[in-house]
Structure 1
Amino acid sequence: MSIKFGTAPCSWGVWFPRNEKQTPWERCLNEIREAGYERIELGPWGYLPNQCETLKVELKKRNLDLVATTLMGDLVSDRNIEKMLAVLDDMASLQLKFPSAKYIVLIDDTYTDLFTGRLIRPKDLIESEWRNLVRNIDKIKNYAQSRYGLEIVFHPHAQTHVETEEQIERLLKDIDINLCLDTGHHAYTGGDPVRFMRKHSSRIPYLHIKNCDMEIRKKMKEEGWSLAEAVGKGIMVEPGLGVVNMKEFFQVLNEVNFEGLAIVEQDMYPAPFDKPLPVAKRTYEYLKQIRTAH
């Protein structure tokens, strides 16, 4: 196993390009390095500097490598795909200047409003809508590969149209695409990331590492919380604290000789500015320990 750890701005409470509740980007980068990480995802487009020379300078002085960008949007709507491709063009023009940044993490948009929990698009797709989703994922994947040589990894995500194990299995049958497996989101929807990783390791070069508190998940269901409210109440927790047995998960990574990226992505919006760094330090040391154990 040759696993490469990194982290992302969402572990510092960052969900948006600009938001007064979010840690300033300079502090975020400083603390990422202080915690021990050497690799980062870019986070929301526009949060970190997206001018090439500025970003290069800021990452170099902290010895950080960019490994991926993120593209999220409504993948069922054909009209939305051209907008997403335009964003991809902008991101790729930056990303290609960083040889370590080989991936784009693709995510479907949520079917609920993040803050109210209100249903804003159908939760379940009819057959024609599913075919649209698959076709549009394939279109984005092929566009990124043929034009820029970048690999799309699809991220099953809570409250999107590809969230449950059944939906992910269907996607893997319907399209030739690799996954970004998010251990926390997978558990959130009732899946078993340990078993799933063992079964589909050949399709998973990229991981998001987090855990899920299923007691808070239970309360979320009972009280009808939105996803943002549940995150604010701590539904996503440090890797060693939730329902996912991380030692077993890393044992599987060792069994399958995983050689990809593992990005810590502990959602905690909004986060007091002094909260993320101690969490990041504990997480980094914990992951080093369980990697060494295997």
Structure 2
Amino acid sequence: MTPLPRARTLTAMTSLSPSSLSRIRIGSAPDSWGVWFPDDPRQVPWQRFLDEVAASGYEWIELGPYGYLPTDPAVLAGETARRGLKVSAGTVFTGLHRGAAVWDETWGHVSSVAALAQAMGARHLVVIPSFWRDDRTGRVLEPPELTPRQWRDLTSLTERLGREVRERYGLTIVVHPHADTHIDSEENVARFLDGTDSGLVSLCLDTGHYAYCGGDSVKLIETYGERIGYLHLKQVDPEILAGVRAAGTPFGPAVARGVMCEPPAGVPELGPVLRAAQRLDVDLFAIVEQDMYPCDPDAPLPIARRTRAFLRSCGV
């Protein structure tokens, strides 16, 4: 395994000028419109999502669950272009800790999403580990902790995925720590990063999920800055989170209770996170994601407008 040099600390980067602010590009995603699945009657139609995300002042979007937006690149390119939108990334779910037996099935899904993302001019593929309990029902699907063998499979196959996606599609994978997956807490995120090649695997830091699992986003940026390739901006309601943790509530029902809240009402504070990210002096997407599945179809647009205004007040 390639040794990992630690990132420059923030104290070493304080001389950077505020102009690095311009290197953070803000966007939003179907998730902020209550979209979790390719097709669900409780979700807004894709046309309404595109109309409203553009009306909210965002320029960049993610593809969301594959099949929600049109998968024909020509159709999607026309629909996004006429609304002034561009695609930053696609998203895939993987279960690579299960070993080589799942590779072919995983690659079949990844290649479809990566091809569409590439055709839309995106440069990233967000990789989310599979859930150890069902995000809708809470049913436990497998143990929440990985064995040493499963950790080896997870890290080695993620490196393979990074290599294949880069070579075939020109995309960088950014792995997304997520509640109710095996890459969640500070300990598990550090173990994953220390076990993977920095040249092949970067991180999508989701500020809400990391806080949900007890992590400190600013500390993570300070420690592993060179591995931060992408951001998801999200906050959690600390009071609801305390109840969720105490009760062991699964992620899906926790979202239905409102654990992910509208900024700036929750934690972590996004201003310090953005300032820490800016001092890395690299180009970063910062995509707003407020998990709201399911939600009133009229709720997302005013929240998105207020959130965009709040982020402008933070300087982005």
The interval holding the TM-score normalised by the smaller chain is over 0.9
2:105 paired residue among 72, 83, 89: 83
- Give 1:281 deviation, angstroms: 0.4
- Give 1:246 deviation, angstroms: 1.6
Give the letter aligned to residue 111 of structure 2. Answer: D
- Give 1:258 deviation, angstroms: 4.3
d(CA) in 1 for partners of 2:270, 2:174: 22
d(CA) in 1 for partners of 2:215, 2:221: 11
TM-score normalised over the length of structure 2: 0.89
3-state secondary structure, aligned to 1:291: coil
d(CA) in 2 for partners of 1:114, 1:161: 14
- Give 1:255 deviation, angstroms: 2.7
| Cα displacement string for residues 110-166 of structure 1 (whole angstroms, at most 9, x for unaligned residues) | 101112222111110111111111111111111101112111111111111110111
3-state secondary structure, aligned to 1:175: coil
1:72 paired residue among 93, 97, 110: 93
Give the equivalent residue in structure 2 for 1:199: 223
d(CA) in 1 for partners of 2:178, 2:211: 11
* Sequence identity (%): 40
Give the equivalent residue in structure 1 for 2:196: 175
Aligned length: 291
Within 5 Å, which residues of 2 pair with 1:93-104? 93-99=115-121, 101-104=122-125
2:243 paired residue among 219, 236, 242: 219
Give the letter aligned to residue 155 of structure 1. Answer: H
d(CA) in 2 for partners of 1:94, 1:252: 32
Give the letter aligned to residue 104 of structure 2. Answer: E
Is 2:285 the counterpart of 1:257?
no
Query: Is the CA contact 2:96–2:157 (under 8 Å) kept in the aligned structure 1?
Result: yes
2:54 paired residue among 21, 33, 58: 33
Query: Is the CA contact 2:26–2:58 (under 8 Å) kept in the aligned structure 1?
Result: yes
Give the letter aligned to residue 203 of structure 2. Answer: L
d(CA) in 1 for partners of 2:274, 2:206: 14
Is 2:166 the counterpart of 1:166?
no
- Give 1:183 deviation, angstroms: 0.2
RMSD: 1.3
d(CA) in 1 for partners of 2:275, 2:123: 26
Is 2:261 the counterpart of 1:240?
no
Moved more, 121-130 or 81-90: 81-90
3-state secondary structure, aligned to 1:104: strand
Give the letter aligned to residue 139 of structure 1. Answer: R
* 4+ runs deviating over 6 angstroms: none
Query: Is the CA contact 1:209–1:239 (under 8 Å) kept in the aligned structure 2?
Result: no
Give the letter aligned to residue 235 of structure 1. Answer: V
Is 2:130 the counterpart of 1:109?
yes
| Cα displacement string for residues 239-292 of structure 1 (whole angstroms, at most 9, x for unaligned residues) | 311121222222212333342100001100001000000110011111111026
